[in-house]
Amino acid sequence: MDKEERKTINQGQEDEMEIYGYNLCRWKLAIVSLGVVCTGGFLLLLLYWMPEWRVKATCIRAAVRDCEVVLLRTTDEFRMWFCAKIRFLSLETHPFLNPKSMTNKVANGHAVHLTENLAEENRHEMNKYSQTQPQQVRYFTHHSVKYFWNDTLHNFDFLKGLDEGVSCTSIYEKHSAGLTKGMHAYRKLLYGVNEITVKVPSVFKLLIKEVLNPFYIFQLFSVILWSTDEYYYYALAIVIMSIVSIVSSLYSIRKQYIMLHDMVAAHSTVRVSVCRVNEEIEEIFSTDLVPGDVMVIPLNGTVMPCDAVLINGTCIVNESMLTGESVPVTKTNLPNPSVDIKGMGDEFYSPEIHKRHTLFCGTTVIQTRFYTGELVKAVVVRTGFSTSKGQLVRSILYPKPTDFKLYRDAYLFLLCLVAVAGIGFIYTIINSILNETGTLTEDGLDLWGIQRVENTRFLLPEENVCNEILVKSQFVACMATCHSLTKIEGVLSGDPLDLKMFEAIGWILEEATEEETALHNRIMPTVVRPAKQLLPESTPAGNQEMELFELPAIYEIGIVRQFPFSSALQRMSVVARVLGDKKMDAYMKGAPEVIASLCKPETVPVDFEKVLEDYTKQGFRVIALAHRKLESKLTWHKVQNISRDVIENNMDFMGLIVMQNKLKQETPAVLEDLHKANIRTVMVTGDNMLTAVSVARDCGMILPQDKVIIAEALPPKDGKVAKINWHYADTLTQCSNSSAIDSEAIPIKLVHDSLEDLQVTRYHFAMNGKSFSVILEHFQDLAPKLMLHGTVFARMAPDQKTQLIEALQNVDYFVGMCGDGANDCGALKRAHGGISLSELEASVASPFTSKTPSISCVPNLIREGRAALMTSFCVFKFMALYSIIQYFSVTLLYSILSNLGDFQFLFIDLAIILVVVFTMSLNPAWKELVAQRPPSGLISGALLFSVLSQIIICIGFQSLGFFWVKQQPWYEVWQPQSDACNTTRSLYWNSSHLYNESNVDTHNIQNYENTTVFFISSFQYLIVAIAFSKGKPFRQPCYKNYFFVVSVMILYVFILLIMLHPVASIDQVLQIVCVPYQWRITMLMIVLVNALVSIMVENFFLDMVLWKVVFNRDKQGEYRFTSTQPPQESVDRWGKCCLSWALRCRKKIPKAKYMYLAQELLVDPEWPPKPQTTTEAKALVKENGSCQIITIT
């Protein structure tokens, strides 16, 4: 076998990895050991940090099937390396099974899909596979997942449960009876313990891991370096700060581990009942569950310890841990294709597709409904880290590395500093040799009214549904039964829309108690009935006895079977029976278009589409109802096993329920703020298209004068290619509560060569989820253009929301997503910035969680984010200047074989730098969201110019002081007896004179140049801190940062005091020498001029001249050649070019794809598409998505 082979595991998945095989090489290990000794352990550290180097340095390549160590590399953009040791699972001591046959089975990877008939399966595997060492199975563990060697695939593969490749039929026929004890023991050996383990590392382990961080290793070398140079106090300060940092980091990391451990450990081990093959009920710990076990769900509910598919009964489940919604969800048993009257085909079971029948790990079963004599059962399909909760925990334990541009720029920034330091190092050596980084509307819907259908015609809209006339109508019966409501502790709970509908009719819902259910031969249905006052009063006949009259006229409806709402199907249905009726009724509700398509055409009014359009244009949410009488041959037992497809067809259309969803009060104002800041907003919703367009108009996302172009894409059919029909929606009169937003128009046509003279109009594209999918598949060239002005995306499924985020990112937009965490998890994860409006565990899907469920958090987050970004830039710039100022101070002093003193370094680093860095980052965000964008990276024109200009200024003034002091008439090469202040003839006696008589300055710290450079550089640190601490437009002014102001003032006063009026003890500690008072005034003048020049350059030249002229920004932060958003990197190229080239750069093609597209579309006469035209995909060149526009005549 090829020793250089490379295999791929988890192919096509998010965690796809390349795998390489290696065997330990003794001679390589010996050489590395010698290298470790020779380098004093540094090589060992390097190999610890680099797993790829560690494996390659100690091992040789081998075939993957025979290797001892595997090297893994992710295939994503990060290309991260991991290594794992091959281990062996021994099966020879298994007491229940034939070891040879079972080992063959596992080793060949066929424990992936386990079946009931064990003996037959074993014989099949023995005949097909063989292995040299049948008692051992090779595997390795990576990120809490075991990968076993699979001879069939000739690769490693993780052990799957019953969630892949298992048909719905086989779940009933082969897995519903349970496992034998032998099979259970065998599977437990393979799958391991059913637990999601979050081990809290010991303090010692965390300490070792933290100490071996490259940063602390660098600090260690720094301490050694400073100590060898006899800067003991400075070295001690580094040690103390490092210890404080390590302790703080250890506390934070351990606290997070403990918190995650406690969250996962809650309810992790409980006692559960499982069914065995002989119908015996066995009680075991949940940690012993394996795929294939049949778990009995207790009556009083439980927290699910695994993922299981329901095969008997019904459960009410709280899935807030996964979805973020605490609304109870009804889970029904998995449809059994073998007993369905009109079988739906033998489809494969999937937890995602069949999530309405799956109980997920970590979710809470609140109640169960069951058959007498038949328990509520579920077949375990996944355990441990393979469960939905396990995958969530794994994503927390092993997150993908962040790839912020700031981090990349920070590394580049550090490399630049290293280069500067290298130059200084070379200079020092030479010198020594010579001299020595749905949310827009209210949460609830209000029932606006209903519009029933009679004789295939719409009646007039009715506002009041709760009346005697309608109480026994099929329309109200549908509203009373077609829902997923349930009572939890006596309180009606469920979907808010269902609650509003049920409350509108004023009916009562009753559920059977545990005792009532046990008395009957069948499951007790949920019963709904009208309140007594709603029933029409009956008067007794003259000859009727009073006793007969006193018996109430009972009208009740029992809900026999429920088919829960499916977002994919956009509907739900129930089978119900009126008390006393022989035939059952089927009721269905859902999206009007879907319901109408499932009804008899003759029952749907001819003006259905027009009426629906009228409602949706006004922003109402419309739900359609349908009904039909079922055949008398359908018994209760048959209904329990029937497919929903058999029920949901050939219905009678009954009419529409019209719901009003009012805008949240803050929505228009928030969107107006975003528009003013030139931040584009896009609506992604599950509602009807016209409803979404109406809401977009009402909230100001689409202005009254704007055009809305609806893209209706149709897939290929009957040999015809895919096509897009373009329709222009009517411009509606804006509602009274809409927001008129004064924003700039989007130029779409050029009438002159000049970019300044544009004939402008605004247009928006709107489409539904089906059209969006067709466009992505068949019109790849057109999709980016639609992303440029797509505003409304309706009827979008969860995966389509994620695809939309990706499509916007593909044209270089930076995308923020605001969702409720229910169906938005994928999109929230994919967006650059995801905001969850749910505080529950689903907020794990997004980096930000809002405490208030409204979009008002969006501008706040952007303001805070921009302020944080500018603060980061501010700190980076300050640290760069600090490094350069101190570096240049040392370089100047090295030229005279001097340096800064030990306590001078300590004063600068602790008293000045540490205090300033901490306080300058406390500026709060600016109160308004502005159109101007901050630079996106450290390597951008404005920031580079800012840093370079301040470096030049500081170097200039420091050099001025250094060389000017040598020109003074009193200057001489300083000696301990030097007396430039004439201290022997005055009452003033410099402390340094006394100090120097008894202490020899072996390092030549005390001299006039040192004192001059120390004072000037100390002021320069404070000057650049003030210059860089800019406020508006992203942060509050620095004078509102009171901690910073007070800190800087105290430092200024202190340095001025010791410079103008020296204190003997302080001079002695800082090793400052006496200089004439006139030179002290001269230094003060140098500092004042330095401050004036630095602040003028930073705040006037850079902000008011360079930013607007060179970088071509107008008052709102936009480029004048286009009105689309400037990309975050739009100014970055200026930092890498000279000024003259930058002035001509306006005419060059923008980097961002969407800006390039905007420029292209400006001169495209065929864009936007004309009304009533069709775009067809070219059949011959399907792969590149080319298309042509054909005008329909």
- Residue 1087: what pLDDT? 93
**Among candidate residues 1056, 1093, 1078, the one with its CA nearest the CA of residue 954:** 1093
Tell me if 861 sits within 8 A of 833, measured CB to CB. yes
**pLDDT above 80 for 1157:** yes
CA contacts within 13 A on the Cβ side of 572: 22
Higher pLDDT, 16 or 396: 16
- The stretch 1089-1098 carries a mean pLDDT of 91
What end-to-end distance do the CA atoms of the chain give, in Å? 66
962-978 pLDDT per residue, tens: 999 889 888 888 777 77
Higher pLDDT, 350 or 640: 350
Q: How far apart are CA 659 and CA 500, in angstroms?
A: 9
* pLDDT bracket for residue 747 (50, 70, 90): very low
Alpha helices in 376-440 (DSSP H): 388-397, 405-434
**Among candidate residues 670, 661, 715, the one with its CA nearest the CA of residue 688:** 661
How many percent of the chain have pLDDT more than 70? 75
- Mean pLDDT of all residues in the chain? 76
In three state form, how does the secondary structure of 638-675 look? HHHHCCHHHHCCCEEEEEEEEEECCECCCHHHHHHHHH
- Residue 445: what pLDDT? 66
* pLDDT bracket for residue 634 (50, 70, 90): confident
Beta strands 1187-1191 and 491-493 are unpaired
Q: Compute CA distances 531 → 358, 509, 865, 883, whole Å.
A: 36, 10, 54, 80
**pLDDT above 60 for 729:** yes
- Residue 530: what pLDDT? 84
**pLDDT above 70 for 442:** no
Beta strands 145-150 and 446-454 are unpaired
- Residue 436: what pLDDT? 40
- The stretch 54-79 carries a mean pLDDT of 88
What is the b/e burial string over 392-427, where b = at least 16 CB atoms within 10 angstroms of the residue's CB?
A: bbbbebeeeeeeebbeebbeebeeeeeebeeebeee
- Neighbouring C-beta atoms of residue 343, cutoff 10 Å: 15
**pLDDT above 50 for 1113:** no
- Neighbouring C-beta atoms of residue 1010, cutoff 10 Å: 26
In three state form, how does the secondary structure of 544-557 look? CCHHHHHCCCCCCE
Q: Give the torsion through C-alpha atoms of 338, 342, 346, 349, to 10 deg.
A: -90
Q: How far apart are CA 851 and CA 837, in angstroms?
A: 7
Higher pLDDT, 1076 or 104: 1076
Sequence-separated (6 or more) residues with CB below 8 Å from residue 883: 417, 420
- Residue 741: what pLDDT? 30
φ, ψ at 737 (rounded to 5°):
-95, 10
Please report the sign of the dihedral spanned by the C-alpha atoms of residue 993, residue 994, residue 1000, residue 1002.
negative
- Residue 752: what pLDDT? 32
Q: Compute CA distances 544 → 539, 541, 898, whole Å.
A: 10, 5, 122
**pLDDT above 50 for 759:** no
- The stretch 479-500 carries a mean pLDDT of 81
Residues in the chain: 1193
pTM of the model: 0.67
* pLDDT bracket for residue 997 (50, 70, 90): very low
Beta strands 763-768 and 790-794 are parallel
666-690 pLDDT per residue, tens: 778 888 888 888 888 888 887 777 7
Q: Interior CA angle at 852 toward 850 and 857, to 5°?
A: 60
- Residue 1105: what pLDDT? 63
- Residue 990: what pLDDT? 44
- Helix, strand, coil abundance in the chain, percent, nearest 5: 40, 20, 40
15-62 pLDDT per residue, tens: 889 999 999 999 999 999 999 898 888 888 888 888 889 999 999 999
Alpha helices in 681-723 (DSSP H): 689-698
Tell me if 727 sits within 8 A of 1172, measured CB to CB. yes
* pLDDT bracket for residue 1126 (50, 70, 90): very low
Q: How far apart are CA 654 and CA 624, in angstroms?
A: 8
- Neighbouring C-beta atoms of residue 548, cutoff 10 Å: 9
Tell me if 900 sits within 8 A of 1009, measured CB to CB. no
**Among candidate residues 525, 696, 716, the one with its CA nearest the CA of residue 619:** 696
- The stretch 870-892 carries a mean pLDDT of 85
